[in-house]
A and B are shown apart, each in its own frame.
Chain A
Amino acid sequence: MPYTKRRRLVTTAVAVALGATALAACGSSDDGEARSGPVSLTYWTWTPGMDKVVDLWNKGPGKKEQITVTVKKQASGDTLVTKILTAHKAGQAPDLVQAEYQALPTLVSNDALADIKDEAGDVKGKFADGVWQQTTLGTDAVYAVPQDIGPLMFYYREDLFEKYGLDVPQTWEEFAETARKLKKAAPDKDLTTFSANDSGLFAGLAQQAGGRWWTTSGQKWKVGINDDATKKVAEFWGGLVEEGAVDNQPMYTPAWNKALNTGKQIAWISAVWAPGTLSTAAPDTKGKWAMAPLPQWSADENRTGSWGGSSTAVTTDSEHKDAAARFATWLNTDADALSALAKEGGIYPASTSAQLSGAFTNPPEYFSNQPDFYAKAAEIAETTVPSAWGPNVNVAYTSFKDAFGAAAKNKSDFTAALDTMQDDTVADLKKQGFEVAP
Chain B
Amino acid sequence: MSTLAVRKAAPAAGTTPGTAQGPPRRRRIAFVPTVTLLLGAVYCLLPVAWVVIAATKSGRELFSTFTFLPGTGFTGNLADLNAYRDGVYWRWMGNSALYAGLGALLSTAVSALAGYALAVYRFRGREALFNVLLAGVLMPPVILAVPQYLLLAQADLTDSRLSVLLPQILSPYGVYLARIYATAAVPADVVEAGRMDGASEWRIFTRISLPMMLPGLVTVFLFQFVAVWNNFLLPYIMLSDDEKFPITLGLHTLLEQGANTPALYTLVITGAFLAVLPLVALFLVVQRFWSLDLLSGAVKS
Binding site for B on A (CB under 8 A): 42, 44, 46-48, 72-77, 79, 83, 86-87, 89-92, 94, 148, 150, 254, 257-258, 261-262, 271, 273, 276-277, 279-281, 283-284, 307-308, 310, 345-348
Contact = CB atoms under 8 A, between A and B. Distances in A.
A276 B263 CA distance: 10
Q: Which of B241, B252, B257 has the most CB of A within 10 A?
A: B257
Contact of A276 (B62, B150, B262): B262
B201 interface: no
Interface string B212-253: 000000000000000000000000110011100000010011
Contacts, number: 94
B149 A46 contact: no
Interface of B: 59-60, 62-64, 146, 149-150, 153-154, 158, 236-237, 240-242, 249, 252-253, 255-263, 265
B258 A310 contact: yes
Contact of B253 (A75, A148, A271): A75
A254 B63 contact: yes
23 contacts: A46-B253, A46-B257, A47-B257, A48-B257, A72-B240, A72-B242, A75-B252, A75-B253, A75-B256, A77-B256, A79-B236, A83-B236, A86-B146, A87-B158, A87-B240, A90-B158, A271-B259, A280-B265, A281-B63, A283-B59, A284-B64, A345-B260, A345-B261
A73 B63 contact: no
B226 to A, nearest CB: 23
Q: Which of B64, B237, B252, B265 has the most CB of A within 10 A?
A: B64
B240 A94 contact: yes
Contacts of A91: 153
A146 to B, nearest CB: 14
A98 B153 CA distance: 22
Contacts of A94: 240
Contacts of B153: 87, 90-92
A273 B260 contact: yes
B60 A92 contact: no
Contacts of A79: 236
B240 A44 contact: yes
Nearest to A92: B153
Nearest to B151: A90
Given A75-B252, A283-B59, A308 B261 contact: no
Given A86-B237, A257-B63, A258-B63, A148 B262 contact: no
A73 B265 CA distance: 18
Given A46-B256, A83-B237, A347-B260, 8 more contacts: A76-B256, A76-B258, A92-B153, A150-B259, A262-B64, A277-B262, A283-B60, A346-B260
Contacts of B252: 75
B64 A261 contact: yes
Given A74-B253, A258-B63, A284-B60, A308 B259 contact: yes
Contacts of B249: 75
Task: Give 5 closest A-B pairs by Cβ, nearest first.
Answer: A90-B153, A75-B256, A308-B259, A257-B63, A280-B262
A86 B149 contact: yes
A47 B242 contact: no
A90 B149 contact: yes
A354 B133 CA distance: 60
Nearest to A310: B258
Contacts of A280: 59, 262-263, 265
A74 B146 contact: no
A75 B262 CA distance: 13
Contacts of A271: 259
A44 B236 CA distance: 13
Nearest to A71: B242
Nearest to B59: A280
Contacts of B262: 276-277, 279-281
A86 B159 CA distance: 13
Nearest to B245: A73
A74 B249 CA distance: 9
A203 to B, nearest CB: 13
B258 A47 contact: yes
A261 B63 contact: yes
Contacts of B253: 46, 73-75
Contacts of A257: 63-64
Nearest to A278: B262
Q: Which of A83, A91, A148, A280 has the most CB of B within 10 A?
A: A280
Contact of B257 (A76, A150, A261): A76
B241 A92 contact: no
A273 B260 CA distance: 5
A345 B259 CA distance: 11
A276 B260 contact: yes
A271 B255 CA distance: 19
B224 to A, nearest CB: 25
B258 A46 contact: yes
A91 B62 CA distance: 44
Q: Which of A44, A48, A83, A345 has the most CB of B within 10 A?
A: A48
Contacts of B63: 254, 257-258, 261, 281
Contacts of A347: 260
Nearest to B154: A90
A87 B262 CA distance: 28
A322 to B, nearest CB: 22
Contacts of B237: 83, 86
B239 to A, nearest CB: 9
Contacts of A348: 260
A259 B260 CA distance: 21
A75 B255 contact: yes
B95 to A, nearest CB: 14
Nearest to B249: A75
Given A90-B153, A92-B158, A258-B63, A276 B240 contact: no
B260 A47 contact: yes
A74 B254 CA distance: 9
B241 A72 contact: yes
Nearest to A80: B256
A89 B154 CA distance: 11
